[in-house]
Amino acid sequence: MSEGNVYLCAWRRRGDEYEIFLLENPSLREQGSDLDELRISLCERIVLWNGDGEALLEMAPPITEDLAEGCRLYSELSYNNKVKIFNSGSLYAGGYCQKCRFAIGPRSESEIEIDKKPKSPVVGVGGILPVLEIYSAAFVDLLAQHAEHDIQFRDVLCKGKKSGYVEAISGCEVGHVGMVGAEYPESFSRSWRCTECGHVEFSVYVENMGGLSRFVSEESFHHGYPPAFLLNSGRFLSIAVRADVWAKMQTDKRARGVASESVIVLQKEFVEMPMSLPEPDEFDWIL
């Protein structure tokens, strides 16, 4: 093992103490009130782990950003371009709700068929709810190069042939959650419950976190924090990549142009699910 490597660390504040841990190996963690001592102790544990006696620690987010409720451990990938789907009717076992128009039941075995071959690494699929994402083969290779994950992919077709893009269809899937004390905006159909199929959609607004934020519960991860997982936020199904992995991927041209938003892993005492949501009589989606 070479020395002088940079290690991305996550942190959280518990009262007057800090807990810091290595994203690459969450079992390497230290807790206490003196940050300098915590860094030294963590570096000593890194030496025992892999022999790097000159480890450099980088905090994500910077330690000056005081976020007591959780930590920005992941980046949710998003798209700048969309393509239209041809065969939306065959993609879900239960079809679609006649009221809210969201899919019902599990994903079928049918491949997505799109109207034209995309160019961006991550592309949205329009004309269907939830909104799906597809990924270029080169981008999926890049993800595999930097992360061992259990996400499974299926080919996407264009004019009956393989398009060079794939859909993420299975793997570690995590749903987003609300936060104690947060607001759930109702404007622009951001938060609602369908009385026909039971589908729930909500956005989370926390003023001191800069507006709308995405949260997942720390209890969703029983065996450490995976390098990547499927994030189900109700309206979108997308890949979320751990911050240290995404930092490495962004230096590669295969990730050029991919947008991302922070995902905060909440401590369990701050997690809630919104119980009182509006139940609209009708929905006016533009697909």
Output the pLDDT for position 8. Answer: 83
pLDDT above 60 (res 57): yes
Rounded CA-CA distance 158/164 in Å is 9
- Rounded (5°) CA angle 58-60-64: 90
Domain check: are 178 and 226 in the same one? yes
Convert the pLDDT of each residue in 66-108 to its tens digit: 566 778 889 999 998 999 998 999 999 999 999 999 999 999 9
Domain check: are 148 and 60 in the same one? no
Domain check: are 139 and 235 in the same one? yes
Output the pLDDT for position 120. Answer: 95
Residues 98-119 have a mean pLDDT of 93
pTM above 0.85, yes or no: no
Domain check: are 58 and 186 in the same one? no
Domain check: are 59 and 77 in the same one? no
Enclosing domain of residue 46: 6-66
Domain check: are 75 and 57 in the same one? no
Nearest to 60 by CA among 285, 247, 205, 220: 247
Domain check: are 266 and 182 in the same one? yes
Domains: count for the chain: 2
Establish if 167 belongs to a structural domain.
yes
Establish if 50 belongs to a structural domain.
yes
pLDDT above 60 (res 287): no
Convert the pLDDT of each residue in 142-164 to its tens digit: 999 998 889 999 999 998 999 99
Higher-pLDDT residue of 148, 250: 250
Establish if 1 belongs to a structural domain.
no
Distant-in-sequence contacts of 147-155, Cβ < 8 A, 24+ apart: 147/227, 147/228, 147/241, 147/242, 147/245, 148/227, 149/226, 149/227, 149/228, 149/229, 150/226, 151/228, 151/229, 151/230, 151/239, 154/111, 154/112, 155/111
pLDDT above 60 (res 176): yes
pLDDT above 60 (res 53): yes
